Structure 1
Amino acid sequence: MNRLLRAGAIMAAGTMVSRLTGFIRTAVIAAAIGTALLGDAYNVAYQIPYILFDLLIGGMLSSVIVPSIVRAQKHDADGGKAYEQRLLTIATVLLIGVAALGVLLAEPIIELYTSDLSPRGVEVAATLARYILPQIAFFGLGAIAGAILNTRDRFAAPMWAPVLNNLVVIGVGLAYIFVIHGSDDIDKVSATHLAVLGLGTTAGIVAQSIALVISLHRAGFRFRPRFDLRDSGLGELAKLGAWALAFVGINQLAFVVTTNLTTAAGSRAIAEGVAYGAGWTPYNYAYQLFQLPYGIIAVSVITAMLPRMSRYVTDGRLDLVRDEFSSGVRMVCSVIVPAGVLLMVLGPAVTVLIFSHGANSVQDAVYIGNVLQVFGLALVPFSLFQLLLRVFYSFGDTRTPALVALGNAVLNAALSFVAYLVLPAGQAVMGMAFAFTVTYTVGAGATWMLASRRAGGLGGRSVLDGLWRMYGAALPCAAIALGVLWATRQLVGLGTLGSALMLVVGGGLGMAVYLFLAHRLRIPEVNSIVGLVAGRVGR
C-alpha cells in the first residue's frame, strides 16, 4: 500500500502539472479559434494522430507491451535488452510509414470522422491534419521509451514530459492571438494561420519525445536498431497484440460514431440558430476536463500497479494480485469519488473560468460545463473499468477486454444515436455524454464479474465498504459546494470572478469537509494520502 502510494504520488505530481498546463493550453487554443466550426476542424485533425497511434501501438502499451517487457527482463539472459531494442526499432519504422501514409490520405480520413462539415471545413481540417500527422512517429518513439522506463520503476519522466508539449503549444496559441492575429472564422483563416497552428502543435510532441529519449539514455539504455526478428519473442507479442488492436479498433469505431454525431449536432444547432457551440468541440473539451482527476490519480496508480501485477502473475501469486488491485481501487476511489461529485456541482464554474475568453462567450463556456456535469457521473465507473482491464492484461489476456469493448461500443453508439434523434440540437451532446455514463456503468459491472472470476476474487466486499464510506463523506461536501454556488450566483453572477469564487470557496470548503468526514469515517486511503502530503510539505 505505502509503496504503491509513493509511486503514485511521484507520478501524480507530474501528471497534475501536465494536466493543468494541458488545460491552460486548451483554454488558449479555444480563445484563439473558438468552439464553433474552426474549433471542430482543429480538434478533429488534432485527434487523428492519437487515433492512428492507438490503433498501432498505444492500445498495446499497457495491455501487451509492458507485461511482455517485464517477462523478457525476467527470463531473457540479457535482461530483455535485445527485446527492447527490437521493439523500439519496429515501432519507429512502422509509425514513420503510417505517418507518411496518413499525410497522403488526410482528406478521406477527415471525411470519415465528420458529418455535415462544409467543403471549406473539410479543406481546413485536412490541411491541419497534414501538418499534425507526422506526430505519430514521435508518439511511438516517446511511448516505447516511456514504457521501458516504467518497467525500470522510473515513473517521473513519462509523467513530466508532456508539460514541455503543453508549454510549446501554449506559446503557439498566444502567438496566434497576439503576433499574427489569426482568425477564428473558418472562412477567413489563411494558409499561414493554419501552418502556425499545425506545425506548432507538432513541435510540442517533438519536444516531449526528445525529453523521454534523453531520460531513457540517462537510465542506461543504449539504442541501436535491430532487425533480427527470428526467435525474438515478438511473435508472441503480435499474437497478444491482435486482440489489443481489436480492442482499440472497436473503441475507435465508437469514436467515429461520436465525432460524426457531435459534428452533425453542431451543424444542426447552428442551422437552428443556437447561440452557443454545441458540437464536437464542447464534447471534446468537457471530456478532457473529465479526464483530469482520472489522469492524475487513476493513471498514476495504474502505471505503478501493472508491472507489479504482471510479476505476481508470472510468479503464480494470485493473492498478491488481488491485494495490489484492491489497494489500487480504494486509493483511486478515495480521490475520484469527491472529484466526480464536485464536477457535477461546479462544472460550469470550471469551464467559465477556463473558456469564456477570446472567441468564446460565457454561454459557450456554460454549455461545456453542462456537458462536464454529465460526465462527472461517469468518473467512478470509468476509472473502475480501466483498473479492471489491468487485471486481464497482467494475465496476458487481451481477448476479454476486446469483447467487453465491443459490448461497450454497441451500447454507447445506440444510446448516442437515440440522444441525437430525440433531443434538441442544443442538448444532443449532453445526451451523448449521458450515453457514455450509462455505458461505462454497465461495462464496469460486467467487467468486475469477469475479472473476479479470473483472479479468484478481487476483494469486492472491502472495496464496496470503502465506496459507501467515501460517498458518505462526499455528499455533504457536494451540498456545501452547491450552497456556495447558489450564493455566489445571487451576489456576483456566473462570470470570471463568480466562477473563481465558486471554485475556491465551494471547492475548497467541500474538500475540507470531505477530508474531515473521511478521517472520522476511518477511510485509511485518505489518511495515508494526507499523511504523505503532510510529510513532504514538512520536509
Structure 2
Amino acid sequence: MATSSIGRASIFLASGTTVSRALGFVRAIILAQALGVVASAGADAFAVANQLPNAIYAIVAGGVLSATLVPAIVRSAVHHDGGTAYINKLVTIALVVITATALAATLLAPVLVRMYAVTWSDEQLALASAFAYWCLPQVFFYGLYALLGEVLNARGSFGPFTWTPVANNVISIIGLSVFIALFGADSIGVRSVGDWSPDMVALLAGTATAGVALQALLLVLFWRRIGLRYRPDFRWRGVGLRDTGKMAGWTLAMILATQIQGVVEINVAGLASGTNASVFTIQTAWLIFMLPHSIIAVSLGTAYYTRMSTNAAAAKLDLVAADTGESLRRIGYFMSWAAAGLMGIALPFTTLFASTFQGVWDMGWILTVFALGLPAFSGVFILQRVLFALNDGRLAFIVTMWQPVLLTGLLIGCAFLPRNIIALGIAVSVSIITIGWIVFGAVLVRRRLGVSSLHMGRSFVLANAFGLVAAGVGMAVAWALGAYVESGWALANLGNALVAMLVIGVAVTLVYVLLMAVFRIPELREARGLISRRTRE
C-alpha cells in the first residue's frame, strides 16, 4: 500500500469515525440529560453494566482478534487458495468462542456485576444486574463486528468497519429519546435506585444492545462485495494455526492483566457513587478523550497496520521502521494539537453534559488531566500495532504488562483519597502511567527494529512540547473568559460556552501552527499542500 493510498484510506476511515463519534457525542449528551452525569447512582449502575460486554469481550477475543487476524490473513494470502481456508478456520474458531462467552457471561450477570462493584448496596447491585442481563448479549455482537471488520481490513476494505457504528449510535439516540419522552429527564441525577422500573431498564439497555447488533450485522453485507464466502470449517489442524495461537496467547495475557486493572479502577471509582464524580463521570470524560484518538490515531494506524503486516511478512524491517517513524510523527503532531485544544476547552465543553457547576468542575478537570496523556496514548497504540505486525507477542506483552501492574498500585492508593477527588486521582494515575508507557515502549520497539531513538522520538517529543505551550495559552484564555469560576461568563449558558470554546480553539490552533512554522515542521507544509489541492479541486 503506497503512502498516497495510506492517506486516502486514513481520510476515508477518519470520515466514518468522525460521523460515528459525532453521533456518539449526541448520544452521550442525551444520556447525561436522561440519567445525570455526576453523583447519579442509576447512571453508575448502567455504566458498570454497559461496560461489562466490552470488558468480557476484550478478555476473551477482542485484542486477540485485532492482534492476530490482520497479520495472519496477510501471511495466508500466499497459500494456494489465497487464504480462503485459513479465513474460514479462523472465523469458525472465533465464532465458537464468542458465542460460548456471550452465553456464559449473560448467565453470570450478577456475579460479574458484584465483581466490579463490591462496595455497592444490594439495591444498586440489583439494578446493575438487571441492566447487565440486557447488555451482556452485546459480547457476541462486538465479537462478530470485530471479526468481520478485521477480515475486511486485512483485505483492504477499510470503510465498513468505521461507518457501520453510525447505525449503532442512531439506534441508541432513538432509544434514549423515547426513554426521556416516556419517563422524563434527570440531568441532576436525583432519580433513586428504587425509582427504576423493569420497563425503564429494558428500554435503556435493550436499545443499547440493539444498536450493537445492527452495527455487526451490517458488515455481513460487505463480505460478498469483496468476494468472501464463509463456510464453517471445524477442521482446525493443518493450516498453520499454531503461530497464530501463540500470538493470541500473549495478547490474551496482556488483556487479562489490563482487565484486572479495570476491575480495580471501577471498584475504586464506585466508592464515590451517588455522591461525587464516579464511574459514569469517568466514562463520559473518557469518551470525549477518545474522540481525537479514534478519528486520527485509529484511522491512520489501521491504514498503516496492513502495510506494516505485509512488510513484516516479507522480512522488510527497514520499511516497517520507516512506517513506524512516519506514523508516530504524524500522529504526534495531530494528537498534541488535539490534546491542547481539549485542555483549553474542557470546562466550557462539559457544560453540554453536566447541569451544575460542581458537575462541570469535576468532569472538566478529569477531562483536562486525561488529555495530558492523549499523545502518549495514541503513540502506544501505534507501537502495539508494530509489534502485532511483527507477530512478536512476547515483546508486546513486555511492553504492555508493566502498565496495568503499576497503574493498579496507584489506583489502590486513590481509594484512600477524599471521596470528592477519587475520580480525579484516577485520571492523574492513568495519564502518569501512559506517559511512562510510551517512553518504555519506544525504547523496546527501537531495539526490535534496529533504528535510532532520536529518529523515532525527536518529532514526537517536539510535538508534545508545542502542545503544552498551546495548552497553556488555551487555559489562560479560558481563565480570562471565566471558565474556572461559577459565575464566569463562559459557563453562564450554552451559547456563552460555545463561543468560549471557539475562541479558545482558535487561540490554541494559532499558537500551535505558529510554533510549527517557526521550527519549520515538514508536516505543516504537507497540510498546507493538502488544503491547497483540495481548494483547487
Alpha-carbon distance in 2 for matches of 1:343, 1:99: 36
8 A Cα contact 1:250 1:402, kept in partner: no
Does residue 447 (structure 1) correspond to residue 451 (structure 2)? The answer is: no
User: 2:46: which partner in 1?
Assistant: 42
Alpha-carbon distance in 2 for matches of 1:479, 1:232: 56
Alpha-carbon distance in 1 for matches of 2:55, 2:128: 15
Q: CA deviation at 1:263?
A: 0.4
Does residue 186 (structure 1) correspond to residue 185 (structure 2)? The answer is: no
Alpha-carbon distance in 2 for matches of 1:307, 1:113: 36
| CA-to-aligned-CA distance 1:343-387 (integer Å, 9 cap, x gap) | 2222112211x203xxx4342233111101111111122111221
User: 1:274: which partner in 2?
Assistant: none
Q: CA deviation at 1:509?
A: 3.2
- Which runs of 5 or more residues in structure 1 are unaligned? 271-276
- Summarize the Cα distance change of 1:528–1:245 in structure 2 as closer, same or farther, 3 Å threshold: same
Match for 1:77: what amino acid? H
Alpha-carbon distance in 2 for matches of 1:473, 1:443: 20
Alpha-carbon distance in 1 for matches of 2:488, 2:127: 43
Does residue 368 (structure 1) correspond to residue 363 (structure 2)? The answer is: yes
User: 1:138: which partner in 2?
Assistant: 141
Alpha-carbon distance in 2 for matches of 1:533, 1:297: 17
Alpha-carbon distance in 2 for matches of 1:300, 1:524: 21
8 A Cα contact 2:55 2:259, kept in partner: yes
Match of 2:378 among 372, 375, 383: 383
| CA-to-aligned-CA distance 1:223-261 (integer Å, 9 cap, x gap) | 222222221333332222111110110100010010010
Does residue 216 (structure 1) correspond to residue 223 (structure 2)? The answer is: yes
What TM-score, normalized to structure 1?
0.93
| CA-to-aligned-CA distance 1:467-491 (integer Å, 9 cap, x gap) | 3543454455334423431332286
User: 2:415: which partner in 1?
Assistant: 420
Match of 1:509 among 499, 507, 510: 507
Match for 2:523: what amino acid? E
Alpha-carbon distance in 2 for matches of 1:50, 1:503: 32
8 A Cα contact 1:115 1:261, kept in partner: no
Alpha-carbon distance in 2 for matches of 1:355, 1:95: 34
Alpha-carbon distance in 2 for matches of 1:473, 1:111: 44
Q: How many residues align?
A: 524
Alpha-carbon distance in 2 for matches of 1:176, 1:534: 46
User: 1:206: which partner in 2?
Assistant: 213
Does residue 65 (structure 1) correspond to residue 69 (structure 2)? The answer is: yes
Percent identity, aligned pairs only? Answer: 31
| CA-to-aligned-CA distance 1:42-80 (integer Å, 9 cap, x gap) | 11111111111111221112321211111111x211111
8 A Cα contact 1:5 1:529, kept in partner: no
User: 1:176: which partner in 2?
Assistant: 179
| CA-to-aligned-CA distance 1:192-221 (integer Å, 9 cap, x gap) | 000001110011011111221112222221
Alpha-carbon distance in 1 for matches of 2:161, 2:468: 35
What TM-score, normalized to structure 2?
0.93
Alpha-carbon distance in 2 for matches of 1:390, 1:26: 29
Q: CA deviation at 1:323?
A: 0.5
Match of 1:407 among 399, 402, 407: 402
**After the TM superposition, which of the residue ranges 80-89 and 248-257 deviates more from structure 2?**
80-89
Any residues of structure 2 matched to 1:261-276 within 5 Å, and which? Answer: 261-266=268-273, 270=275
Alpha-carbon distance in 2 for matches of 1:158, 1:362: 38
**After the TM superposition, which of the residue ranges 326-335 and 390-399 deviates more from structure 2?**
390-399
Q: CA deviation at 1:430?
A: 0.7
Match for 1:240: what amino acid? M
| 2:271 alignment partner, SS class | helix
| 2:128 alignment partner, SS class | helix
Does residue 492 (structure 1) correspond to residue 489 (structure 2)? The answer is: yes
Alpha-carbon distance in 2 for matches of 1:54, 1:471: 30
Alpha-carbon distance in 2 for matches of 1:374, 1:479: 13
User: 1:86: which partner in 2?
Assistant: 89
8 A Cα contact 2:333 2:464, kept in partner: no
- Summarize the Cα distance change of 1:92–1:348 in structure 2 as closer, same or farther, 3 Å threshold: same
- Summarize the Cα distance change of 1:363–1:491 in structure 2 as closer, same or farther, 3 Å threshold: closer
Does residue 292 (structure 1) correspond to residue 295 (structure 2)? The answer is: no
8 A Cα contact 1:344 1:376, kept in partner: yes
User: 1:310: which partner in 2?
Assistant: 309
Does residue 151 (structure 1) correspond to residue 148 (structure 2)? The answer is: no
Does residue 97 (structure 1) correspond to residue 100 (structure 2)? The answer is: yes
Q: CA deviation at 1:298?
A: 0.9
User: 2:127: which partner in 1?
Assistant: 124
User: 1:339: which partner in 2?
Assistant: 338
- Summarize the Cα distance change of 1:243–1:278 in structure 2 as closer, same or farther, 3 Å threshold: same
Q: CA deviation at 1:293?
A: 1.2
8 A Cα contact 2:348 2:497, kept in partner: yes
8 A Cα contact 2:69 2:151, kept in partner: no
- Summarize the Cα distance change of 1:59–1:362 in structure 2 as closer, same or farther, 3 Å threshold: same
- Summarize the Cα distance change of 1:392–1:464 in structure 2 as closer, same or farther, 3 Å threshold: closer
Alpha-carbon distance in 2 for matches of 1:2, 1:526: 17
Match for 1:522: what amino acid? R
User: 2:522: which partner in 1?
Assistant: 524
- Summarize the Cα distance change of 1:533–1:211 in structure 2 as closer, same or farther, 3 Å threshold: farther
- Which runs of 5 or more residues in structure 2 are unaligned? none
Q: CA deviation at 1:113?
A: 0.7
Q: CA deviation at 1:530?
A: 4.3
| CA-to-aligned-CA distance 1:465-517 (integer Å, 9 cap, x gap) | 32354345445533442343133228624132232112111113321442344
Q: CA deviation at 1:335?
A: 0.8
**After the TM superposition, which of the residue ranges 158-167 and 499-508 deviates more from structure 2?**
499-508
Alpha-carbon distance in 2 for matches of 1:514, 1:537: 22
Alpha-carbon distance in 1 for matches of 2:463, 2:35: 40
Alpha-carbon distance in 1 for matches of 2:258, 2:116: 13
Alpha-carbon distance in 1 for matches of 2:118, 2:278: 11
Match for 2:19: what amino acid? V
8 A Cα contact 1:250 1:405, kept in partner: no
**After the TM superposition, which of the residue ranges 433-442 and 249-258 deviates more from structure 2?**
433-442
| 2:277 alignment partner, SS class | coil
Match for 1:44: what amino acid? V
Match for 2:132: what amino acid? A
Alpha-carbon distance in 2 for matches of 1:27, 1:530: 34
Match for 2:74: what amino acid? V
8 A Cα contact 2:490 2:500, kept in partner: no
- Summarize the Cα distance change of 1:178–1:323 in structure 2 as closer, same or farther, 3 Å threshold: same
Any residues of structure 2 matched to 1:470-485 within 5 Å, and which? Answer: 470-471=463-464, 473-485=466-478
Match for 1:177: what amino acid? I
